[in-house]
Structure 1
Amino acid sequence: MIRRFSIFLFLVVPYLAKAQGCSDAGICSMPQSSVTSHEKSIPLSLSVEQTWELGEQDMQYLHSVFGLALKASDKLDISFSIPLRNAYYSQEWYAYISDATLASRYLVSDKIGITLGAKFPIGTVTAQDAAGNHLPMALQGGLGTYDLLFQGEYKMPSWSVALGYQLPFGAIDNTFEPNGKFIDFQNSYHLDRGDDIMLRYNRMWASTNLNWMASVVSVYRIKGDYIYDGERVPESEGISFNLGLQAIKAIQKGNLKARLAVPVYVRKARPDGLTRTVIIALAWEGFL
């Protein structure tokens, strides 16, 4: 296990200082297969996840994500989550409720699962600082659109592969243009985000006290992003490629999880504010 973890760090650490990466527009955090020692018959679970994230311009984020999951039947799970977002930039804190996600996962068979979900624009995208400067998307509470999410997953005992699609509706009601205080951020005036296609591969294995899951996630932004009245954002289409590692420890009536995610390749323009260079997360999941 130590050898595997060392190889993982050797692959990803050289990219931490220069890669742009991404947080999650929604499709990457859809319900997925993992490793757990608890029975799936437990009907209700609560979860709390705390992340630390490093973004563009050395911006730091603290996300507190609260989740609720219900096992409606042997084949159907329903989950809901909502984050509290704190961003620290230039010695100032910006705190908001972020966008909520509702998802339903149906098991067609022991190997095949289908997930449908939606994101709701609860987080603000029109916030200003105390001086009246419009904030860039990286400092807003949410993404400002209703999004439909779809995922199909094929699972085996030690691995799974998933294909997902995210469709946002409408332009974002954000009017940020680079100004004297936020000169290094990308223009997001009435931003219209492109659709995303995701391909994820998970590899699971167990050690003495922990279960592990390594992930390779690629997200392709179709057609790119647009601002104003149809002005295309150059180099905003294309692929982002990310690696992740998660450790899971079973406790009484729940799980503890630790997660590390880093990018290795991304598209150059990201006006949606989701640029990240590293994400570290700790989570608790309790069954009721």
Structure 2
Amino acid sequence: MKKTLLVFGLLLAVNYMFSQGCSDAGICSINHGFQSEDKSFKSTLELAAIYSLGEADVGYFSPYISYTKRFSERFSFTSKVTYSTAHGSFGTRSQFGDAFLIGNYTFKEKNKKQWSTLLGFKFPFTASNLKINGYSLPLDYQSSLGTIDLFLGTNLHYKYWDFNGALQLPIVNLNNNSYFKEYGGTNDFPSTNLFERKPDALLRATYSLKTPNKKFTFKPNVLFIYHLGKDSFENIFGQRENIKGSDGLTINGNIITSYSLTKQSSLELSLATPFVVRDSRPDGLTRSFVLGLQYQYSF
């Protein structure tokens, strides 16, 4: 197992240097809704800070706060609010991003197998048309895609493994972005005027390994995200135009290391990078490197 983790770590290191980006409109992070913490605590508070690199020279600092309430041994409810600061050649823009509301139901364990289901929504704080000095910005600088999304998911826990699948479906499009690359002075970002995004489907496999003293937990995982169709925008002639190469598969690698500070609190470090990317990623969610640090407290 040590050799497996070493190889996984080397693969991540190589991809940090050569990868082109990944796609995550929220679907990659909802797996926390499947996690079953110590049932003796009814509430869990999470504070996290995420640093990542995107297209061209854009860098991101994205903190969030999350609260989980366990109403019973079977049912829990999670809320999360995100914030994002994007910095690059266009300037710096900061804004609240999205609010997540997710419910999870866990079924009884049978033959060391336990299923759980997830239903949730994502609500934007902006219409994805933030500007700097009156100039329109590409989606890479926006803190939200400006859509109300529905999440549907299921998870199978078996021994040290978790296998989960999920769908993210935009159900209301509030996106009012007005960026045209023809007026942007660069070809780094595609036109996304009145952007419309297609759904995503996800499959994830996670292996959990704890040290003998149970202080450290390591969770290498692989995510397969398929973008179910071509995104589109309204061109300068007022006609809707599909964006070639915006559909297809993304494969992300992620390794999570958790350290238990006390029975009630823990620290978690997450490193992620893509192995396979779509030809075009107009949604501004491209990340070549993601580093996250999270503090969790249960009470």
Shorter-chain TM-score: what band?
over 0.9
CA distance in 2, matches of 1:184, 1:24: 19
Are the counterparts in 2 of residues 146 and 168 from structure 1 also a CA contact under 8 Å? yes
Deviation at 1:162, TM superposition (A): 0.6
Please, which moves more after superposition, 221-230 or 261-270?
A: 221-230
Q: What is the number of residues matched between the two proteins?
A: 285
CA distance in 2, matches of 1:260, 1:5: 13
Q: How does 1:135-214 map to 2 (within 5 A)?
A: 135-171=137-173, 172-178=175-181, 179-208=183-212, 209-214=215-220
Distance 1:236 1:23, change over 3 A: closer
Q: 2:151 and 2:186 mapped to 1: Cα distance?
A: 32
In the TM superposition, 1:1-288 aligns within 5 A as 3-30=3-30, 31-33=32-34, 39-90=38-89, 92-110=91-109, 111-130=114-133, 132-171=134-173, 172-178=175-181, 179-208=183-212, 209-228=215-234, 229-252=239-262, 253-288=264-299
CA deviations on 1:220-248 (whole Å, 9 max, x unpaired) are 01112111144111011100000100011
In structure 1, stretches of 5+ residues that fail to align are: none
Shift of 1:76: 0.5
**In 2, are the aligned partners of 1:33 and 1:155 still within 8 Å (CA)?**
no
Partners of 1:67 and 1:80 within 8 A in 2: yes
Normalised by the length of structure 2, the TM-score is 0.90
Superposed displacement of residue 108, structure 1: 2.1
Q: TM-score, normalised by structure 1?
A: 0.93
| SS of structure 2 residue aligned to 1:276 | coil
Structure 2: tracts of 5 or more residues without a match:
none
DSSP-derived class of the 1:73 partner: coil
> 1:271 is paired with a residue of what secondary structure?
coil
Q: How far 1:124 moved relative to its partner?
A: 4.4
Q: Which secondary structure does the structure 2 equivalent of 1:189 belong to?
A: coil
Cα displacement (A) at 1:8 = 1.5
Match of 1:10, SS?
A: helix
User: Mean Cα displacement is larger for which, 59-68 or 88-97?
Assistant: 88-97
Percent of aligned positions that are identical: 26
CA shift in 2, pair 1:158/1:236, >3 Å: same
